[in-house]
């Protein structure tokens, strides 16, 4: 029996939920929706009763935009987002969009974080997920049949699986006792949206002068009458409450020599540069995703994207486990695939933080890298890391496409991603000879010799990654069994 913060009491609470998710941020909401695509009974517990009071703008990078297209959400999100080129992300080095990004969605979408959270929560609820706000996990105990979850108000719930999507200070991770090694915050940064009391040209000139030696300062337009301000704080404060306007004025004077007459803040917040990665993403029937599994500085804007991509990797696997269709090792592939991706993201954010330092050594390296990024392949490589379009899972030996995400290629019905809205596997067959056979209840088949592929056929997982490339039925059947379990007996 596995346990953590054992739940007291002798009576057995009945299992009413297949999966309970702690946290209804972007990761938790996306995971709930993915599970509901497969009929899993889902309850989402969100500690906060109200959305965040600040309106931080977050960015959806290429791979996350592709995921939204795969699930039919992109048009809805675009209504609330601002599009900008897929360039200048890596350490804020200003370079153009590189050639060869190989995506129909080679741009970034900026969207207020409360809006993307609301849209994803509405999507999950529309699919049948239950969300309860103001409910925090305080204890858990697991056994061979399920997990008992104790809430802060004393209520006990029983579920077959629990997923902690409850942020950097994850209660679920702490209750599990999973290590969270890495580096604590060395510095903090203030961020907010404010009005300024000086002319725009004066702001631009002063910021340009400071950024010649210190890339950490940002003061730029954020809408009518507003400026987005990012400025280093003085050391590490670590308080949970947001900073004051006076804190901003003090730090702006220290870094820029002026406070720009800032006033009338719309929102103010702070963030640190702690970098940590959970040692394990799964302990028995309890799993971790999003910031509960990994944290890093926000340079490059990868945090929300990494969490949403965790959710889409985990959702179909956990659903198969709940429904009794998962191969024995399927759920373990979640950690095996996503843990190395997070490790890579932590490393690239570490590098970006160093490149933005005002110290002479990092400034020299930044100048050198700025020159190297004039080479398209270098620029493409670095943007590809942040946009997550170069992620390749290790599925064993095979063509380069194996393990990579399949772009939204043209097919007879329009675009490939329009066929993935239901979160099922897909065989894209240009030979006309292959079949999904006894797996037709879990995977679709498209017979399309005109599909824009340079291989005979591919098997695409529900998360959009290529599980098989080839033209022989025996090899295909082996991979269908590997990813989707035993075939359903046909009459």
CA distances from 317 to 134, 153, 461 (A): 29, 32, 10
> Which tokens hold the place of 325?
């269709």
> Which tokens hold the place of 258?
């002026």
Sheet containing strand 107-112, edge to edge, reads 57-60, 107-112, 82-85
Token look-up 């019905």 returns 413
How many whole angstroms separate alpha carbon 446 and alpha carbon 382? 34
CB 383 within 8 A of CB 86: yes
> Which domains, from first to last, does the chain contain?
17-182+276-387 (3.50.50.60), 188-272 (3.30.70.2450), 404-484 (3.40.30.120)
Q: Do the bridges between strand 130-133 and strand 42-46 make them parallel or antiparallel, or are there none, so unpaired? A: parallel
Short-list 251, 256, 261, CA closest to 210: 256
**pTM of the predicted structure, to 2 decimals:** 0.92
How many whole angstroms separate alpha carbon 423 and alpha carbon 425? 7
Mean pLDDT of all residues belonging to the chain: 93
172: number of CA atoms within 13 Å, CB side?
34
What does the pLDDT read at residue 205?
Answer: 95
What does the pLDDT read at residue 53?
Answer: 61
CA distances from 189 to 110, 227, 247, 399 (A): 20, 16, 11, 44
> Which tokens hold the place of 398?
């095979």
CB 169 within 8 A of CB 263: no
> Which tokens hold the place of 369?
């890298």
How many whole angstroms separate alpha carbon 407 and alpha carbon 425? 15
What does the pLDDT read at residue 304?
Answer: 95
Q: Assign residue 55 a region: left if phi > 0, alpha if psi is -120 to 50, beta otherwise?
A: beta
Question: Residues of the chain whose pLDDT is less than 50?
Answer: 1, 3, 5-6, 8-10, 491
Q: Do the bridges between strand 17-22 and strand 82-85 make them parallel or antiparallel, or are there none, so unpaired? A: unpaired
How many whole angstroms separate alpha carbon 424 and alpha carbon 446? 13
The two most distant CA atoms of the chain are separated, in Å, by: 79
CB 163 within 8 A of CB 35: no
What does the pLDDT read at residue 11?
Answer: 52
Task: Report H helices in 79-129.
Answer: 113-126
CA distances from 7 to 44, 158, 177, 269 (A): 20, 11, 15, 36
What does the pLDDT read at residue 367?
Answer: 95
> Which tokens hold the place of 170?
């994850």
Short-list 353, 355, 88, 92, CA closest to 218: 92
């Amino acid at each position: 029996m596995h346990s953590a913060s054992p739940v007291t009491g002798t009576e057995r609470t009945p299992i009413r939920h297949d999966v309970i998710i702690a946290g209804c941020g972007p990761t938790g909401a996306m995971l709930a929706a993915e599970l509901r695509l497969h009929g899993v009974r889902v309850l989402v517990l969100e500690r906060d009763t109200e959305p965040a009071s600040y309106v931080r703008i977050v960015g959806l990078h290429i791979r996350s935009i592709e995921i939204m297209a795969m699930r039919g959400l992109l048009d809805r999100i675009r209504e609330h987002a601002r599009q900008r080129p897929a360039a200048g992300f890596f350490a804020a080095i200003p370079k153009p969009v590189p050639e060869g990004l190989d995506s129909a969605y080679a741009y970034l979408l900026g969207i207020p974080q409360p809006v993307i959270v609301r849209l994803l929560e509405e999507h999950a609820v529309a699919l049948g997920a239950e969300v309860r706000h103001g409910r925090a996990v305080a204890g858990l105990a697991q056994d061979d049949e399920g997990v008992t979850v104790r809430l802060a108000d004393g209520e006990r719930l029983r579920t077959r699986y629990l997923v902690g999507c409850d942020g950097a200070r994850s209660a679920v991770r702490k209750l599990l006792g999973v290590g969270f090694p890495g580096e604590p915050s060395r510095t903090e940064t203030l961020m907010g949206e404010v009005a300024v009391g000086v002319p725009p040209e004066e702001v631009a000139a002063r910021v340009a002068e400071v950024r010649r030696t210190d890339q950490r300062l940002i003061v730029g337009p954020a809408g009518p009458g507003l400026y987005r301000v990012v400025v280093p704080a003085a050391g590490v404060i670590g308080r949970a409450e947001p900073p004051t306007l006076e804190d901003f004025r003090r730090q702006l004077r220290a870094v820029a020599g002026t406070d720009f007459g800032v006033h009338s803040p719309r929102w103010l917040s702070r963030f640190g540069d702690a970098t940590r990665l959970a040692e394990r993403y799964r302990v028995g029937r309890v799993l971790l995703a999003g910031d509960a599994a990994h944290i890093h500085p926000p340079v490059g804007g990868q945090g929300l994207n990494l969490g949403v991509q965790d959710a889409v990797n985990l959702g179909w696997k956990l659903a198969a486990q709940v429904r009794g269709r998962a191969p024995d090792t399927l759920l373990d592939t979640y950690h095996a695939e996503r843990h190395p991706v997070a490790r890579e993201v932590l490393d690239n954010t570490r590098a970006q933080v160093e490149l933005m330092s005002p110290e002479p050594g990092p400034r020299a390296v930044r100048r050198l890298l700025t020159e190297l990024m004039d080479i398209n392949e270098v620029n493409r490589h670095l943007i590809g890391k942040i946009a997550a379009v170069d992620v390749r899972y290790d599925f064993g030996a095979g063509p380069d496409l194996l393990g990579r995400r399949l772009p939204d290629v043209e097919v007879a019905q329009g675009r490939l991603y329009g066929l993935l809205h239901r979160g099922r596997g897909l065989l894209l067959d240009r030979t006309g000879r292959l079949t999904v056979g006894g797996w037709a209840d879990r995977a679709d088949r498209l017979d399309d010799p005109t599909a824009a592929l340079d291989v005979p056929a591919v098997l695409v997982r529900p998360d959009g990654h290529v599980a098989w490339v080839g033209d022989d039925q025996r090899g295909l059947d082996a991979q269908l069994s590997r990813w989707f379990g035993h075939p359903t007996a046909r009459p």
